[in-house]
Amino acid sequence: MLLMFSNFVLVDSINEEGSVLLEFKLSLDDPNNNLHTWNQSDSFPCNWVGVSCANDHKVTSVNLHGLNLSGSLSPTICKLSFLTVFNISNNFISGPIPNGLASCQNLEVLDLCTNRFRDDFPTQLSTISSLKVLSLCENYISGVIPEEIGNLILLEELVVYSNNLTGMIPKSIGGLKQLKVIRAGVNSLSDPIPSEISECENLEVFGLAQNSLSGPFPKELQKLKNLTSLVLWQNLLSGDIPPEIGNFSRLELLALHANSFSGNIPEEIGKLTQLKRLYLYTNQLNGSIPQELGNCVNLVEIDLSENRLTGIIPKTLGNITSLHLLHLFENRLVGDIPNELSHLKELRKLDLSINNLTREIPLGFQNIPFFQSFQLSDNNLEGSIPPLIGANSNLSVLDMSMNNLVGIIPPHLCKSQKLMFLSLGSNKLSGNIPHGLKSCKSLIQLMLGDNLLTGSIPLEFSNIYNLSALDLHQNHFSGPLPPEIGQLRNLKRLHLSNNYFFGHIPPEIRNLVQLVTFNVSSNRLFGDIPHELMNCSNLQRLDLSRNWFTGHVPFEIGNLVNLELLKLSDNRMNGPIPTSIGKLARLTELQMGGNFFSGNVPFELGQLNALQISLNISHNQLSGTIHQNLGNLVRNHFT
């Protein structure tokens, strides 16, 4: 009997707090059995997964982060009167946030982030006066942030990003003197930023990105002397960036991009000596880049792209020896590229594209050891490409297209076998494709069009298996299209027009099943259009014009149902226009003029209702009458 009594005591020995936790668990689903240690046969729950206790076995913390739990949230948890930390983040718990959660009156940390709660902002939580951290991020919480939030006078962190919050930020938030972190991005908050936030004197992180906030930059924020991160990107903010920005002496991150700020970048920005990341891109800023920016010697990333900045690139940027990224593209900058930039030995990414920069590229860039991305396209640069570029770094992106560069393609661009994107088009480069580039297996896009390059398509290209775009148009290339081109099975764009290629299109073209654009116009290709080309069912643009092709158009061309452009003009093709062309419902441009096509104009052409750019079947040997539906098509789209 004594043994039986002893066993009975063992089974029912869990204390009251353990019973509360087991009751709380009843509302949860635990498919992975992560809470298997929650066992009523234990005396205390202090060794259960996610449970921590004080010395007197009172539960003080329940942390169930990332346990793949679902179900609903029960306010039973608040029966744990000594609970200070409750974290159920990164689960799949759904439903409303229960009103009863407000009875957890000793809570200091409440983290419900990354679940599936659907509810209005839980105003009832504003009665938990002990709360220091309130995290509701990545849920489906809607409505406004209530004025009552100002009652949480001990609050240090308010984390509510990635919800469906609307309305204005309550002015009462200025009463939260202990607040260090506000993260409320990715919502639909609107109206101006209230100046009262400047009263949160301990604020360190202020994040309101990706909302609909409007109005000017609040000058009053300069009072926030402890601010390290100011993140307001992708809102509707406008006006000047005020000179008071220079008073944020501890600022490390300033992200104001994707707004409508205008005016100059204030020279006071040079006072931010602790700044590590500066993002002002995609605004309407004008004027010159202030020389004083070079005083921010701790900067790691600067992005001022997509503005209306004018003047020269300051040489003082060369003082920022820790710089990893410098993006100044799509502005109106003039002058040369300062040689001082080429001395930035930590530089990884430099993009000065789409400006009006002139003169030569400094040779020093070829010696930067960590260089990964170098983009100078669409400027007026002259001279040659630094000959050792790529020899001393893991270069993955090089874009110098649309300049006035001369000389040869440097031989070491792919020495590291990391080069993925190379665009040197629209220059005056000459010579052959260097051997190192022919065997560059890492290449994904190779764009060399509109130069003075010579030679043939290298057979080694067949080993560049990841190549998705090959553009050699408008050069002096010659020779046949090698059968090995069929091994480039990932190729989506093949642009070889305006060269001196001759011979047949090889039947191996059938292997390029991902091909979207195929342009070999203005060459000296001859023979029939291979039936194998009709296997490239993803083709959207097919241009075989201005060659010496003969024979009939394959009837299977109607299988290329994704075609939007078809150009066969100015060849020596004959026979009838195949009726199957009428199946090409997406076709917007059809050019078949200047051949020897004969017979009637097929009435099926009148079914091409998407034709809007051009229809040309002139200068052939066609006969008969034009069917009414084709006449209607011409009148509707071309008159």
Mean pLDDT confidence for 293-306: 98
Count of H-run helices and E-run strands, the chain? 4, 50
- Decide: helix, strand or coil at residue 498: coil
Strand partners, 53: 59
Closest residue by Cα to residue 602 from 590, 614, 612, 594: 590
Give the pLDDT score at 603. Answer: 85
Give the pLDDT score at 634. Answer: 58
Closest residue by Cα to residue 63 from 44, 91, 42: 91
Closest residue by Cα to residue 119 from 149, 145, 139, 93: 139
pLDDT at 400 over 80: yes
Beta-carbon count within 10 A of 482 CB: 17
Give the pLDDT score at 585. Answer: 94
Question: How far is residue 619's CA from residue 639's CA, in Å, rounded to a whole number?
Answer: 21
Question: How far is residue 589's CA from residue 380's CA, in Å, rounded to a whole number?
Answer: 34
Half-sphere exposure of 452 (CA within 13 A, CB side): 10
> 76 — phi, psi (to 5°)?
-50, -30
Q: What is the pLDDT of residues 79-127, one digit of tens each?
A: 999 999 999 999 999 999 999 999 999 999 999 999 999 999 999 999 9
- Over the chain, what is the mean pLDDT? 94
Beta-carbon count within 10 A of 567 CB: 21
CA torsion sign, 35 to 40 to 42 to 43? positive
Give the pLDDT score at 6. Answer: 35
Question: How far is residue 251's CA from residue 563's CA, in Å, rounded to a whole number?
Answer: 53
CA torsion angle for 189, 191, 192, 194 (degrees, to 10)?
-70
Element (H, E) at 151: none
Q: What tokens does 508 get?
A: 């191996």
CA torsion sign, 489 to 490 to 493 to 499? negative
Strand partners, 517: 493, 541
Mean pLDDT confidence for 215-241: 96
Burial class of residue 319 (count of CB atoms within 10 Å of its CB; 0-12, 13-18, 19+): middle
pLDDT at 1 over 70: no
Matching residue, tokens 């707004």: 259
Percent of the chain with pLDDT over 70: 96
Question: How far is residue 252's CA from residue 298's CA, in Å, rounded to a whole number?
Answer: 9
Give the pLDDT score at 3. Answer: 37
Tell which phi-psi region holds residue 417, choosing left (phi > 0), alpha (psi between -120 and 50) or beta: left
Q: What is the pLDDT of residues 206-222, one digit of tens each?
A: 999 999 999 999 999 99
Mean pLDDT confidence for 519-544: 97
Element (H, E) at 16: helix 16-25
- The DSSP secondary structure of 441-455, one letter per residue, reads TT-SEEE--SSEEEE
Closest residue by Cα to residue 205 from 170, 247, 157: 157
Q: What tokens does 247 get?
A: 């008073």
Question: How far is residue 133's CA from residue 152's CA, in Å, rounded to a whole number?
Answer: 10
Closest residue by Cα to residue 136 from 188, 86, 171, 170: 86
Question: How far is residue 506's CA from residue 133's CA, in Å, rounded to a whole number?
Answer: 67
Contacts of 336 (CB under 8 A, 6+ apart): 312, 357, 358, 359, 360
Burial class of residue 623 (count of CB atoms within 10 Å of its CB; 0-12, 13-18, 19+): exposed
Q: What tokens does 221 get?
A: 């924020």
Strand partners, 476: 454
**pTM of this prediction exceeds 0.85:** yes
Contact 367, 390 (CB under 8 A): no
Q: What tokens does 140 get?
A: 């489906």
Q: What is the pLDDT of residues 457-494, one digit of tens each?
A: 999 998 999 999 999 999 999 999 999 999 999 999 99
Beta-carbon count within 10 A of 612 CB: 13
Give the pLDDT score at 12. Answer: 53
Q: What tokens does 7 get?
A: 């066993």
Contact 218, 195 (CB under 8 A): yes
Confidence class of residue 519 from pLDDT cuts 50, 70 and 90? very high
Percent of the chain with pLDDT over 90: 92
Q: What is the pLDDT of residues 28-77, one digit of tens each?
A: 999 999 999 999 999 999 999 999 999 999 999 999 999 999 999 999 99
